[in-house]
Structure 1
Amino acid sequence: MNFVAMDFETANSKRYSACSLALTVVRNDQIVDEFYSLIKPDTPFFWRNTQIHGIHAEDVADAPDFPTLWPHIAPLFQRDRLVIAHNATFDIGVLRSSLEHYQLTTPQYLALDTVRTSRKFYPELSNHKLDTLCQELNIELEHHHNALDDSRACANILLHEAQQFGPEQLKSFVKVIA
């Protein structure tokens, strides 16, 4: 399998308030690269978001803003590339809103949500949160809500599902994002 697992953390409830991003690149069923960056949003931080992920305004003071970061990661979002996330509606929404907010071109790419796949493959679980799945599937998740740890865990969930159920079973979950 070849894909990129994506995870954002946000400064507040505005979807374009990304304050960190991680990408985990998988080629031939192996994690081959990882990317992590703090992001300086042009919005204030809300205490509840900070409480969840631990990122403060002073942590991102010298970080790049989203328009500065985008050219470095944009090549991973192409028409034939699969991008996955756990609760992809959120992460795809953050990416889309950030691109719209900064008036950047929205790419077309393929997407898959590991929340949806886990609900299908593991209906017996009490919930399908990232930390619950990692515990049930014996996948390491060192710091939940750290974007890099979350994107790595998401990648490992999909790899586990592909190994257990076969990649063909995952194809129906892939959607085109435009």
Structure 2
Amino acid sequence: MNFVAMDFETASAKRYSACSLALTVVRNNQVTDEFYTLIKPDTPFFWRNTQIHGIHERDVADAPTWPEVWRHIEEFYDKSKLVIAHNASFDNSVLRACLEHYELPTPQYLTLDTVKTSKKFYPEFPNHKLNTVCEQLNIDLHHHHNALDDSLACANILLTQADQFGADRLKPFVRIQG
């Protein structure tokens, strides 16, 4: 399998308030690369978001803005590439909102949501939150709500599902985004 797992953290309820992003690149069923950055959002921080992920306004004071980050990662988003996330509707909406906010073109790409695959393949789990799925599948999740740890965990969930059920059983979950 070849894909990129993405995870955003946001500074507030505004979807374009991305304050961190991680990408975990998988090629031939192996994690081959990781990318993590803080992002200086165009919004103030809300205390509840900071409480969840631990990122403060002072942490991103010297961080790149979204347009600067996008220049480094846009190659991962094209119609031939699969980008996954755990609760992909959230992460895809953050990406779209950031691009729209900064008036950048929105690409088309393939996407898959590991919440949906987990609900299908593991209906007996008590819930399908990232930390629960990882615990049930014995996947390490060091710091939940750290974007890099979350994207790596998401990648490992999909790799586990591909191993247990076969990659063909995952294909119906792939959607076109953008």
Structure 2 residue 109 is the aligned partner of structure 1 residue 109: yes
1:154 equivalent in structure 2:
154
Cα RMSD (Å): 0.3
Q: Distance in 2 between matches of 1:142 and 1:177?
A: 29
SS in 2 for 1:44: coil
CA shift, 1:107, in A, is 0.5
2:9 equivalent in structure 1:
9
Q: Show structure 1 runs of 4+ deviating over 3 A.
A: none
1:171 equivalent in structure 2:
171
1:39 equivalent in structure 2:
39
2:56 equivalent in structure 1:
56
2:89 equivalent in structure 1:
89
SS in 1 for 2:170: helix
Q: Distance in 1 between matches of 2:154 and 2:141?
A: 9
CA shift, 1:60, in A, is 0.1
* Residue identity opposite 2:170 in structure 1: L
Name stretches of at least 5 consecutive residues in structure 1 with no aligned partner. none
SS in 1 for 2:124: coil
Structure 2 residue 25 is the aligned partner of structure 1 residue 25: yes
Structure 2 residue 129 is the aligned partner of structure 1 residue 133: no
* Residue identity opposite 1:7 in structure 2: D
Q: Distance in 2 between matches of 1:134 and 1:114?
A: 11
Deviations 1:76-133 (A, max 9, x none): 0011000000000000000000000000000010000000000000000110000000
SS in 1 for 2:161: helix
CA shift, 1:49, in A, is 0.1
CA shift, 1:52, in A, is 0.1
Identity of aligned residues (%): 71
Name stretches of at least 5 consecutive residues in structure 2 with no aligned partner. none
CA shift, 1:175, in A, is 0.1
* Residue identity opposite 2:61 in structure 1: A
SS in 2 for 1:5: strand
Q: Distance in 2 between matches of 1:169 and 1:71?
A: 34
CA shift, 1:141, in A, is 0.2
* Residue identity opposite 2:31 in structure 1: I
Q: Distance in 2 between matches of 1:11 and 1:132?
A: 24
SS in 1 for 2:35: strand
1:121 equivalent in structure 2:
121
* Residue identity opposite 2:77 in structure 1: F
CA shift, 1:6, in A, is 0.1
Q: Distance in 2 between matches of 1:123 and 1:17?
A: 33
2:79 equivalent in structure 1:
79
Q: Distance in 1 between matches of 2:87 and 2:8?
A: 11
Q: Distance in 2 between matches of 1:154 and 1:102?
A: 28
CA shift, 1:140, in A, is 0.3
TM-score if structure 2 supplies the norm length?
1.00
CA shift, 1:160, in A, is 0.1
TM-score if structure 1 supplies the norm length?
1.00
CA shift, 1:50, in A, is 0.1
